[in-house]
Chain A
Amino acid sequence: MANIPQRIIHEYLRHDKKFPHVWCAGCSNGIVLGAIIRAIASLNLDRDDIVMVSGIGCSSRMPVYVDFNTLHTLHGRSIAYATGVKLHKPNLKVIVVTGDGDCTAIGGNHLIHAARRNIDLKVILINNNIYGMTGGQCSPTTPHEAIATTAPYGNIEPDFNVCNLAMGAGASFVARTTAFHVLEMQGIVKDALEHPGFSLVEVVSACPVIYGRLNKKGGAPQMMKDFRDNSVPLAAVDKLPPEKVEGKIIRGILRREIRPEYCAQYASLVERIKDKEADNG
């Protein structure tokens, strides 16, 4: 019998039920899924304790494929559902997989408030700059002047910098990477999983079939090369002349700070009240 190499991801996929997946050839979602799984495996987390929550969109189809507790919710609302899960069972590791439209348009309100609360959710935001599932409409991260089916003459709106948005709202862990930088992505996801507080990881990713074609990006391999050539690690930013940084994707952990986490705050509130009640009683 042929010696078929077993890979770690196979242990975490619901292989018997849900494949083939819905993603197009060249899509970055599978790369992100692989990185998430390897990060989880590297931490040896118990899969019974992992809840993967998503909203609506291409990336949000991810939970159905993985053998965790999984919750595929409404468009934009994954963080709100995840908040309920996490608050009731803070021991669970709650990962939210979302896209740019899901998280920063319809779900923007939940994103900023979860970041403000610093609730320990791990938000993996796969940013492909477009609504893929509905066929290529403009999203809040579609670049200025880029083409979308609802911006046929070029997008006149400025785009969100989602990491700045999350930091402005108070997220305690914020990082950016690209679908090309797979090992970096795995490391960042691992760091996010270990961080005690609201974590947002933006993965700049490729939608070659829709965004790429509309904007003549040259196909999946070329888009990957562009991520390689048009991004700069945070550590190098200060060493490079400004013209080499201008317009580039800055990669790395942009913020990592410890501040009170919401579930922990709630637990200490409960303790305080119980003590007070006991004193009174």
Chain B
Amino acid sequence: MQGNEAVAYGALDAGVNFFAGYPITPSTEVAEILSVELPKRGGVFVQMEDEIASICAITGASLAGAKSLTATSGPGFSLMQEGIGFAKITETPCVVVNVQRMGPSTGMPTSPAQGDIMQAKWGSHGDSPSIVLYPDSVKESYELTIRAVNLAEKYRTCVILLLDEVIGHMREAVRLPDMANVRVINRIKPTVPPHWYKHYDENQKYLSPLASYGEGYRFHVTGLTHDSHGFPTNKSSEASEMMERLRKKIDYNIRDLVQIESHQMEDAKIAIFTAGITARAAKAAIAMARAEGIKVGLLRPLTIWPFPDDAVRKMLRNVETVIVPELNQGQLIHEIQRLTKDKSDGNLIPIQRVNGQLITPNDILRKIKEVS
């Protein structure tokens, strides 16, 4: 099975019943598979006129009660940013899958790159905390798609799944779990009568129930800064309340959101910090380095945003050198730098590549040997 197939089947198993999208390599298989499978299940597949319309349609559908998802790549992801901000400020669950390709602009269609890590966090204007997941295999693409849909429903936000082009198009043998073992989370529905309903209930630990259009609640949704009922406000107290709410619902639930893989880190003197396909190259490099007696390990975020600050701090305390390989001109490394307090910059080693080629295990091994 291919990574993009795993995303499509993960979406179906998570209960996604609405897909709107626009063709773009290397994500198109997700749309193609769902165009076959969704109608069979009574769900909606619609090919929209562009990516902007796609993010808008999945947001509208979600407000009507659908579990919705779209899939795209860099150029489409850029077009969707305003709509992603709308989904976040209106706290509307939806999932955007971005199978990354090399940019900027049309770039090298469709060579791999990991250039959208920061865009996934900061792409939409204004402050809006993000949940972004990043798988490194076909199997994990399936699992994290389900998790993305679950987190979107639970936290009422637009969750982003970042895939590497090579993960999207890679084939691996995968055994999908029995549906009985798949944990599916659905949004909490209100239990109060309509006139008691608050679309953004501040008393619910930032996880407030969500009514759907057509159920009698007749709520208002706006991209304007709003009060807890959803009506626009210019009061600074209500504006801060709304902004704090968006921040806190991520910050207060960081343990639930952050997922990290720690690989051979117990005795490591050198740590590699990276995600996605580059982490697989790192694992191969680690095996080779360990064979030569070098104590090196890998810390890999499955949740890239919110950033796993605590795990990274712990890593920084325990190792002498951190190598950060990434298929961009330096994005993840700035986050590590942010958390580096006692160490000199000399101990933070980048490996960066933006020429359409992957970082190979040998590239990483060479760097490990240089620093060990």
Q: Which residues of A contact B (CB under 8 A)?
A: 14, 17-18, 47-49, 51, 53, 63-64, 67-74, 77, 80-85, 87-89, 91-92, 109-110, 113, 266, 269-270, 273-274, 277
B56 partner, pick from A47, A70, A73, A89, beta carbons under 8 A: A73
Q: How does the 8 Å CB contact mask read for B35-47 relative to A, with 1 for contact and 0 for none?
A: 0000110101010
Q: Smallest CB-CB separation from A49: which chain B residue?
A: B214
Contact across chains for B46 and A83 when beta carbons are under 8 A apart: yes
A89 partner, pick from B53, B213, B221, B224, beta carbons under 8 A: B213
Collect the chain A residues with CB atoms within 8 Å of residue B224's CB: 72
Contact across chains for B49 and A113 when beta carbons are under 8 A apart: yes
Contact across chains for B64 and A89 when beta carbons are under 8 A apart: yes
B73 within 8 A of A: no
Collect the chain A residues with CB atoms within 8 Å of residue B59's CB: 81, 84
Q: Give 9 nearest A-B pairs by CB, closest first.
A: A84-B60, A80-B56, A84-B57, A84-B61, A81-B60, A72-B222, A80-B53, A113-B49, A88-B61
29 CB < 8 A contacts A-B: A17-B231, A48-B215, A48-B216, A48-B218, A51-B213, A64-B232, A67-B218, A68-B218, A69-B218, A70-B221, A71-B213, A72-B222, A72-B224, A77-B83, A80-B60, A81-B60, A83-B20, A84-B62, A85-B63, A87-B44, A88-B44, A91-B214, A109-B53, A110-B49, A113-B53, A266-B39, A270-B42, A273-B39, A274-B40
Report the bound CA distance from A87 to B68 in whole Å.
12
Q: How does the 8 Å CB contact mask read for B71-100 relative to A, with 1 for contact and 0 for none?
A: 000000000001100100000000000000
Contact across chains for B49 and A73 when beta carbons are under 8 A apart: no
Q: Smallest CB-CB separation from A61: which chain B residue?
A: B232
Given A70-B219, A84-B18: 4 more A-B contacts, CB < 8 Å = A67-B218, A80-B57, A81-B57, A87-B18
B129 within 8 A of A: no
Collect the chain B residues with CB atoms within 8 Å of residue A87's CB: 18, 44, 46, 57, 61
B223 within 8 A of A: yes
A71 partner, pick from B44, B48, B83, B221, beta carbons under 8 A: B221
B66 within 8 A of A: yes
Contact across chains for B56 and A109 when beta carbons are under 8 A apart: no
B65 within 8 A of A: yes
Report the bound CA distance from A243 to B210 in whole Å.
58
Q: How many residues of B contact A (CB 8 A)?
A: 45
CB distance from B176 to the nearest CB of A (A): 20
Report the bound CA distance from A135 to B213 in whole Å.
33
Collect the chain B residues with CB atoms within 8 Å of residue A277's CB: 40
With most chain B CB atoms within 10 A of its CB, the pick from A63, A84, A273 is A84
CB distance from A14 to the nearest CB of B (A): 8
Collect the chain B residues with CB atoms within 8 Å of residue A266's CB: 39, 44, 46
Q: Which residues of B contact A (CB under 8 A)?
A: 17-18, 20, 39-40, 42, 44, 46, 48-50, 52-54, 56-66, 68, 82-83, 86, 212-224, 229, 231-232
Report the bound CA distance from A110 to B217 in whole Å.
28
Contact across chains for A92 and B222 when beta carbons are under 8 A apart: no
Report the bound CA distance from A273 to B36 in whole Å.
10
B86 partner, pick from A47, A73, A82, A92, beta carbons under 8 A: A73
A64 partner, pick from B52, B57, B231, beta carbons under 8 A: B231
Q: Smallest CB-CB separation from B85: which chain A residue?
A: A74
Contact across chains for B221 and A269 when beta carbons are under 8 A apart: no
Collect the chain B residues with CB atoms within 8 Å of residue A270's CB: 39, 42
Collect the chain B residues with CB atoms within 8 Å of residue A63's CB: 220
Secondary structure at the B interface, as helix, strand, loop or mixed, is: mixed
Q: Smallest CB-CB separation from A65: which chain B residue?
A: B220
Contact across chains for A80 and B222 when beta carbons are under 8 A apart: no
A77-B56, A92-B64 known; A109 vs B50 contact (CB < 8 Å): yes
CB distance from A71 to the nearest CB of B (A): 5
Collect the chain B residues with CB atoms within 8 Å of residue A84's CB: 18, 20, 56-64, 66, 68
Collect the chain B residues with CB atoms within 8 Å of residue A89's CB: 64-65, 212-214
Report the bound CA distance from A80 to B221 in whole Å.
15
B222 partner, pick from A64, A83, A88, A91, beta carbons under 8 A: A64
A72 partner, pick from B57, B218, B221, beta carbons under 8 A: B221
Contact across chains for B53 and A110 when beta carbons are under 8 A apart: yes
Collect the chain B residues with CB atoms within 8 Å of residue A70's CB: 218-221
With most chain B CB atoms within 10 A of its CB, the pick from A80, A109, A266, A269 is A80
CB distance from A82 to the nearest CB of B (A): 6
Q: Smallest CB-CB separation from B20: which chain A residue?
A: A84
Contact across chains for A82 and B39 when beta carbons are under 8 A apart: no
Contact across chains for A92 and B214 when beta carbons are under 8 A apart: yes
Collect the chain B residues with CB atoms within 8 Å of residue A14's CB: 220
Collect the chain B residues with CB atoms within 8 Å of residue A269's CB: 39
CB distance from A142 to the nearest CB of B (A): 24
Collect the chain A residues with CB atoms within 8 Å of residue B212's CB: 89
Report the bound CA distance from A84 to B69 in whole Å.
12
Report the bound CA distance from A110 to B56 in whole Å.
11
A69-B214, A69-B218 known; A17 vs B56 contact (CB < 8 Å): no
CB distance from A35 to the nearest CB of B (A): 21
Contact across chains for A74 and B86 when beta carbons are under 8 A apart: yes
A80-B57, A113-B53 known; A18 vs B231 contact (CB < 8 Å): yes
Collect the chain B residues with CB atoms within 8 Å of residue A51's CB: 64, 213-214
CB distance from B256 to the nearest CB of A (A): 28
Collect the chain A residues with CB atoms within 8 Å of residue B60's CB: 53, 71, 73, 80-85, 88
With most chain B CB atoms within 10 A of its CB, the pick from A51, A69, A88, A277 is A88
Report the bound CA distance from A63 to B220 in whole Å.
8
Report the bound CA distance from A63 to B49 in whole Å.
25
Q: Smallest CB-CB separation from B66: which chain A residue?
A: A88
Contact across chains for B214 and A17 when beta carbons are under 8 A apart: no
Q: Smallest CB-CB separation from A75: which chain B residue?
A: B82
Collect the chain B residues with CB atoms within 8 Å of residue A110's CB: 49, 53, 56
